[in-house]
Amino acid sequence: MERRRVVVTGVGAVTPLGNDAETSWENAKNGVNGVKELTRLNPDDFPVKIAAELKDFDVEKYIEKKEARKMDRFTHYAIAGAEMALNDADFKIDDSNAERVGVWIGSGIGGMETFETQYDTYINRGLRRVSPFFVPMMIPDMASGQVSIRFGAKGINTATVTACATGTNSIGDAFKVIERGDADVMITGGSEAPITKMSLAGFCANKALSLNPDPETACRPFDKDRDGFIIGEGAGIVILEEYEHAKARGAKIYAEVVGYGSTSDAHHITAPAPNGEGAARSMKQALKDAGIKPEEVDYINAHGTSTGYNDEFETAAVKTVFGEHAYKLAVSSTKSMTGHTLGASGGIEAIFSILTIRDSVIPPTIHLEHPDPLCDLDYVANQSRKQDVSIVMSNSFGFGGHNATLVFKKITE
């Protein structure tokens, strides 16, 4: 079966660095720190005092107030990202194409805030006061469902839940839908609104979060003084399109999606496999799928969470896959600026990877002052780098042993 080419024609995002993709990207290039003091919750209730929150996001720009009340925040973010991405692609869904347009948007934990507030309502006010919208607000597939309903996409409509690999798996699986001919256009990515009481309590309990109270030093991937990740929120949505379909309508093309890998550690519910064995297989699988040699890769947007094992084992995995070339390619973690947006991170980082190719600028890993001796690659420390980039790899790894990798390439005829 002939593989159809797949390209990116639109991007949309809401992140701790900005309420659209271009603002987020400009801030990422400039090394802006999106981590600030925790305001969504009372910091006195938690050992964690900082977070990467959205700033001044106005849901009513995208959804009427009455309708917004029937949705969790992760769905708000997904709809905003999808609307911006469709507008950026200059693509309208109508009766002539709706059945060939699909939606694949995932969320790692879905409507956690809805669950908490409705449980409080049930306990304090009784069953009769629980919202009839409780279940459809909470379930993780509803971002995808609401985007499909809102924009009229009638093709495949599904959602991935693979923890922190969710966004990358979603885009990779959507890529395969178009490649095999089951759709011409896919609205895809990840969305997350995890800054809630129980979510923060859970991550504090399993000691995954940084306890550093200083927003200017806490999120420091690959630094020997790192002590955990910073929780973030947002969405990253891209429009994938079959190449000839995009060309026929004169669409602008950001980059081509050429490879996807997805593996399991089969090791532990939270800890990565030793030396990043599963991550290495994911990267190798993505390179094989793309038909690309390791030495052709210019830049890796790393998972880079600022946790001890993750940064060390991802570095080891890169060395396994790339050999000597590992020391020649650039690697950076944009989570150093956005925090860890969990299921949204793969979508946001896919956008940053694509825009790296467009602008020939590699975003930095900020706060990298004291490199971990075990993390000895070129992490583009603290300042962005002007460099021609043709091929980018983006990694995401999640609780449960999920590994996912995408490869993007500068478009050629």
Select from 260, 272, 235, 240 the least CA-distant residue to 404. 260
Cα 67 to Cα 80: distance, rounded to the nearest angstrom: 14
Q: Which of 164, 204, 219, 375 is catalytic?
A: 164
What token pair was written down for 363? Answer: 């975003």
- Count CB atoms within 10 A of the CB of residue 126: 9
The dihedral sign for the CA sequence 178, 87, 193, 113: negative
Q: For residue 1, give Cα distances in angstroms to 4, 130, 173, 180, 181.
A: 9, 51, 18, 8, 10
Bridge partners of residue 192, in order along the sequence: 234
> Is position 164 annotated as part of the catalytic site?
yes
What does DSSP assign to residue 378? Answer: B
Report the relative pairing of strands 101-106 and 157-158 from DSSP bridges. Answer: parallel
Residues 43, 197 contacting (CB under 8 angstroms)? no
Bridge partners of residue 408, in order along the sequence: 257, 392
What does DSSP assign to residue 209? Answer: B
Residues near 345 by beta carbon (within 8 Å), at least 6 away in sequence? 164, 167, 190, 192, 232, 236, 303, 335, 338, 396
Residues near 67 by beta carbon (within 8 Å), at least 6 away in sequence? none
Select from 334, 404, 340, 341 the least CA-distant residue to 160. 404
CA atoms within 13 A on the CB side of 271: 7
Residues near 26 by beta carbon (within 8 Å), at least 6 away in sequence? 18
Q: Going along 265-360, which residue ranges are E strands?
A: 299-301, 330-332
- The catalytic residues are 164
